[in-house]
Structure 1
Amino acid sequence: MLIIPIKEGEQIDRALKRYKRKFDKTGTKRSLNERKQFTKPSVARRTQVQKAQYVQGLRDIENV
């Protein structure tokens, strides 16, 4: 459970923004979406390799 202490005189918008940031960092929503349906290990590995290739391509472009 996330607890966001609200400081004296703080606007609710800023507190909501902090809550959303903290929620994103915990990865709760991402893990729920992953558990919605089963992905085969081979498919998960393939997407992981594709992501690694993409990131490596970006790094290669950056170094050139």
Structure 2
Amino acid sequence: MLIIPVKEGENIDRALKRYKRKFVKTTIKNQLQERKQFKKPSVVRRAQIQKAQYIQRLRDAEEV
């Protein structure tokens, strides 16, 4: 649970903006999206391997 202390006389819009920023930084949104739909471990592993291969190709292209 996120706790945002609101200071005396602080604008509610400013506090809401701080809440949104903290919400994004804590990656709660990503966790919620991942829990929406089950992914098989093999699918997750395959995606990780593909991402690693893509990054490796980019690094190899930079070196050339």
Deviates more, 1:23-32 or 1:13-22: 23-32
Q: What amino acid maps onto 1:41 in structure 2?
A: P
Gaps of 5+ in 1: none
| Higher relative contact order (Cα pairs below 8 Å, separated by 6+ residues) | 1
Partner Cα separation in structure 2 for residue 15 and residue 63 of structure 1: 46
Aligned residues: 64
From the superposition, tell whether residues 60 and 16 of structure 1 become closer, same or farther in structure 2 (CA, over 3 Å).
Answer: farther
Percent identity at matched positions? 75
| Partner residue, 1:8 | 8
Partner Cα separation in structure 2 for residue 58 and residue 9 of structure 1: 50
Tell which structure's C-alpha radius of gyration is larger.
Answer: 2
Deviates more, 1:25-34 or 1:42-51: 25-34
From the superposition, tell whether residues 8 and 56 of structure 1 become closer, same or farther in structure 2 (CA, over 3 Å).
Answer: farther
| Partner residue, 1:39 | 39
From the superposition, tell whether residues 18 and 57 of structure 1 become closer, same or farther in structure 2 (CA, over 3 Å).
Answer: farther
Partner Cα separation in structure 2 for residue 14 and residue 62 of structure 1: 42
Q: Which digits, 9 at most, give the CA deviation of each residue in 1:14-59, with x for residues without a partner? A: 2111101111222222212212222111110111122223333444
Q: TM-score, normalised by structure 2?
A: 0.67
Partner Cα separation in structure 1 for residue 58 and residue 27 of structure 2: 25
